[in-house]
Amino acid sequence: MARRPELEEATPWKLADHPRLGKGKVVGVVVLDGWGEAPPDPFNCIRVADTPTMDALKKGAPERWRLIKAHGTAVGLPTDDDMGNSEVGHNALGAGQIYAQGAKLVDLALASGKIYEGEGFKYIQQSFETGTLHLIGLLSDGGVHSRIDQLQLLLKGASEHGAKRIRVHILTDGRDVLDGSSVAFVETLESDLAKLREKGVDARVASGGGRMYVTMDRYENDWQVVKRGWDAQVLGEAPHKFQSALEAVKTLREDPKANDQYLPPFVVVDETGKPVGPIMDGDAVVTFNFRADRMVMLAKALEYETFDKFDRVRFPKIRYAGMLQYDGELKLPSHYLVAPPEIERTSGEYLAHNGIRTYACSETVKFGHVTFFWNGNRSGYFNPNLEKYEEIPSDIGIPFNEQPKMKAVEVADKAKDAILSGKYDQVRVNIPNGDMVGHTGDLEATIIGCKAADEAVKIILDAIEQVGGIFVVTADHGNAEDMVKRDKSGKPVRDKDGNVQPLTSHTLNPVPIAIGGPGLASGARFRKDLTDAGLANVAAIIMNLHGFEAPDHYEPTLIEVSTAQYLSASSADRTYQ
Ligand SMILES: O=C(O)[C@H](O)COP(=O)(O)O
Ligand SMILES: [Mn+2]
Ligand SMILES: [Mn+2]
């Protein structure tokens, strides 16, 4: 969606009072990451897990529980075949509006050719005569952080616009796509690069590694991840050396414990053992991921003159552009190929203008989700006097199936303290387990993670009960509710030995939303219409619960307040209402 400057002028920041819902109640907002709704099934870890709190919300108060869409066009993705993800999910939850997201904007810019006319491309183009163009990013068709078809178009377009020497630095996926799919993606890329070579462009893969071990850390959880990538991409140094990327990925996958997400770093070398593509002075670099969170750290390393997160050894003088600008507040990177969605007038900004005091918390791996993504990809506060964001350090250097409870209870305890403190009107958290453990593909661990997430919800709901507050519990997209690769009819795919393949990715499923708490007016319930509603409708709900009407340009609220002070579920059934 285009920038709408008219909003700045015409729309006041002051929100109208809600005619029926009062002010002054603490509102607890819980986002369960990767918690979708699907029928019971042995591969639905949420249904298998013991989740009494979430079950009570669903069964206890049917007028206050419903499903909302969390994927595809409902969250601004190109098609309804696109699974949801945290960036678009939290953007929609926080912004209350549906914006065409990075994936779509890049598609449009590539299709129209406008990408090559923009400032970002013209900037890197200045290096093409004498330097190399390096493309760094996630190699898959997951559509969450990047897409291989966009990389293919960019390779073609860049060579047609003057790039003579191109080096691709790949990050293998296995998280948004099936583990093991890296080999086929490398084959596709190698074949494209071979075609470019036939046309006289010196194009090769120069380095690689698994996304979770090389480069794609987020929220400064572990800079060593970025350093491993830097050493391979910039310095041409890695523990593994191969003469081609295909040989690299095939060989590294021979290790029985190998996993695309965690492949070790490698560099591609020539016959003499020399790396074929370290990043040098005078080169151009593009990070081709459109999603921000896992590219910001590398962007800082590539762009910031002063940098102390690890020893860069060499800081090449390059022309660097992101596929998008990843951080609107930091203006990072300063050059980019496609303008990001200008997510404006988020609920956080509105509520800050209306005096709402907000506390937000998660553990490191999801901290930016309830702050940065929630606020439309802006870091920092709208009003530091009204907001406090707190981060619980995540475990470092272990896959989350080894610690599936993660910091769920710690995050919930922080939220509880914030709720009981009387200092905040909104207490917002992200509970990561369903998603982070779900991405490991480990069913047993995911079941433990879902139980822990449910316990965290209970801690928060109990605190809300204690202060007479209101809660909203929802999720950003599915993951843990479907953990197996399925055929078109929905049956798990089994190999000849009867084994299934774990599904590590998100899903297309809707997510639940529940409202309640002693502070919620007794006639408040979900409307029966708007059956197609999605995550973007949640911001209006939250504004209502703070006693405000949502602005007209927001997706509509899903709440109505009936005059008959009656809810059909018997209160005996209701643990929370
Ligand atoms: O970055 C990741 O971990 C995955 O690609 C997507 O997961 P998220 O959208 O839940 O962060
Ligand atoms: Mn998520
Ligand atoms: Mn996820």
The 10s digit of each residue's pLDDT in 556-569 is: 999 999 976 544 44
> Is residue 362 lining ligand 1, measured as CB closer than 6 Å?
no
Give the contacts of 475 (CB within 8 A, at least 6 positions apart): 31, 32, 33, 34, 35, 36, 70, 434, 511, 512
Ligand nearest to the CA of 87: 1
Mean pLDDT confidence for 144-156: 98
Distance 435 CA to ligand 3 centre (A): 5
With 50 as the cut, is the pLDDT of residue 571 above it?
no
Please name which of 103, 182, 110, 183 lies closest in space to residue 147, comparing C-alpha atoms.
103
Angle at 400 between CA 395 and CA 404, to 5 degrees: 100
Mean pLDDT confidence for 178-184: 98
- Whether 86 sits among the annotated catalytic residues: the reply is yes
With 90 as the cut, is the pLDDT of residue 225 above it?
yes
Distance 291 CA to ligand 1 centre (A): 10
Give the contacts of 421 (CB within 8 A, at least 6 positions apart): none
Question: Where do the H-state alpha helices sit in 134-277?
Answer: 148-160, 182-198, 223-233, 245-252
**Dihedral of the CA atoms 409, 386, 561, 549 (nearest 10)?**
-140
> Is residue 375 lining ligand 1, measured as CB closer than 6 Å?
no
With 60 as the cut, is the pLDDT of residue 281 above it?
yes
pLDDT at res. 398: 86
pLDDT at res. 11: 82
DSSP one-letter code for 178: -
Structure tokens at 192: 């494209």
pLDDT at res. 2: 41
Give the contacts of 91 (CB within 8 A, at least 6 positions apart): 75, 76, 99, 101, 341, 343, 373, 374, 376, 377
> Is residue 435 lining ligand 1, measured as CB closer than 6 Å?
yes
Distance 514 CA to ligand 1 centre (A): 24
Catalytic-role residue among 86, 140, 207, 394: 86
Which atom belonging to ligand 1 lies closest to the Cα atom of 366?
11
pLDDT at res. 6: 60
Distance 485 CA to ligand 3 centre (A): 16
> Is residue 144 lining ligand 1, measured as CB closer than 6 Å?
yes
With 90 as the cut, is the pLDDT of residue 574 above it?
no
Residues whose beta carbons lie less than 5 angstroms from ion ligand 2 = 33, 86, 435, 476
pLDDT at res. 576: 57
Ligand nearest to the CA of 370: 2
pLDDT at res. 573: 43
> Is residue 33 lining ligand 1, measured as CB closer than 6 Å?
yes
